[in-house]
Homo-oligomer: A and B are copies of this chain.
């Protein structure tokens, strides 16, 4: 694989100067076009052998283009903040918005490679880590992102010369560490790992380009040219792709409802909506449950155990009330409620999951999502904000996201707060009559109500695809709010208790 990057490719200084001028002009104009179109982000990754020009190439791209439209990230050891969150949290945080570029040095590939070369993880674990990267890249590419990955290569011999030179240079020797020689000794193992990385992750939508890094002029021009060609190609294809997606989505929506389908029950049809609690009993249970929750939350904070609660349900189902009764007994420093409605401009300029990744808490926090990423397969599906293919692939994307939360030992519970259509009507009418509740009822609520059956179908599909043993949907019969609140509180307490009791011992 790497013989092709040990050919001694060279460019003279004069040739470089001449070509550089042309290339800069081309790149700048492409960058302007990117900003103008502003419909996708660009991710540029530099990985490779120490001394092969990762850093200088990143600097050059910044110099050649308008650096204000580029964010450059170098990754080192994970910070305390990062350590308390899923591994990919920092890569989500550092995603460029549409029209911008992100340059990544020692990014997502770095740690799995190191751990594999050091022998901390075995082959299968290594592949598992790569799987996560593959999914991350696929999800971004499906959303339109341009991803270009550079592997900067020099031979073992060239690297040795580089390191010796660096060591002797009084002005630059501080950049050397023992690790550099250690890695040089492990050169062959790194190459072996790299070969696997490239073979596994060299996809059409996120390709690797191996660059011979020995000659500064050659490698710089190649990096610039590959980026230029990738930008030209992507700007052209994204236009066609978007056009095609629109046409496709239209065709699928036009598809006349099939001649007939068997009437199907939804999982909500199986709920006993008459369940209720008398006020007296409720008060006693509430006091007990809230007391229990308060104590458990204290313990969770001490044990650094995080908890994420998701609330979805029809309008007026009582999500807000359920949430309030959870937060009442909690220490305000250690919980947070995020409420989601239509996305902001900034959020729209990112992948739909981006705004939720931002809310992933540090350890020991309880975080409540009042509506959530499930909007993708509920409101966005029903209202057509996400096209047919977008919401269909969202199930896998969401499962992957939640898998990462669970791997990070976060307790994840998802509540579907349900009411019957009749009960909703009664609550709407009540809101209309009570002056201080009128603001809670909007035209949109009535419009959504007209689509009750569509929402029911979407909810049923959502539960089928995303309810799993370790992150179940809990269906809450909430025609009677007393009954519902107690069910939610007890479910949260049980899950927290179970998680605290079964927490893996950590060496501190």
Contacts and interface: CB of A to CB of B under 8 A. Distances in A.
Nearest to A11: B262
Contacts of A468: 1, 195, 199
A341 interface: no
Contacts of A167: none
Contacts of A267: 3-4, 7
Nearest to A259: B22
B258 A222 contact: no
B251 A236 contact: yes
Nearest to A399: B199
A469 B131 contact: no
Interface stretch (A61-69, A202-210, A423-431): A202-210
A262 B221 contact: yes
Interface residues of A, number: 69
A460 interface: yes
Contact of A467 (B3, B8, B255, B403): B3
Interface in A52-101: none
A464 interface: yes
Contacts of A241: 244, 248
A176 to B, nearest CB: 30
Interface stretch (A292-300, A344-352, A388-396, A494-502): A388-396
Interface string A234-248: 001100110110011
Q: Across chains A and B, which 9 residue pairs bring their CB atoms closest together, nearest first? A: A244-B244, A124-B124, A204-B393, A4-B464, A221-B262, A7-B265, A204-B392, A4-B267, A199-B399
Contacts of A255: 232-233, 236
A193 B65 CA distance: 51
Interface in A250-276: 251-252, 255, 258-262, 264-267, 269-270
Contacts of A247: 240
Given A4-B266, A204-B389, A204-B393, 8 more contacts: A1-B468, A3-B463, A195-B469, A199-B468, A203-B396, A204-B392, A241-B244, A243-B244
A128 interface: yes
Interface of A: 1, 3-5, 7-9, 11, 19, 22, 26, 124-125, 127-128, 131, 192, 195, 198-199, 202-204, 207, 210, 218, 221-222, 225, 228-229, 232-233, 236-237, 240-241, 243-244, 247-248, 251-252, 255, 258-262, 264-267, 269-270, 389, 392-393, 395-396, 399, 403, 460, 463-465, 467-469
Contact of A131 (B26, B125, B131, B403): B131
Contacts of A192: 469
Contacts of A8: 265, 270
B264 A9 contact: yes
B237 A251 contact: yes
Contacts of A465: 1, 198, 202
B3 A202 contact: no
Nearest to A225: B261
A1 B127 contact: no
A243 B236 CA distance: 16
A210 B462 CA distance: 12
A228 B262 contact: no
Contacts of A240: 244, 247-248, 251
Contacts of A403: 199
Contacts of A202: 395-396, 465
Contact of A262 (B128, B225, B261): B225
Nearest to A269: B7
B19 A260 contact: yes
A259 B267 CA distance: 60
Contact of A248 (B5, B237, B264, B469): B237
A42 to B, nearest CB: 18
B237 A252 contact: yes
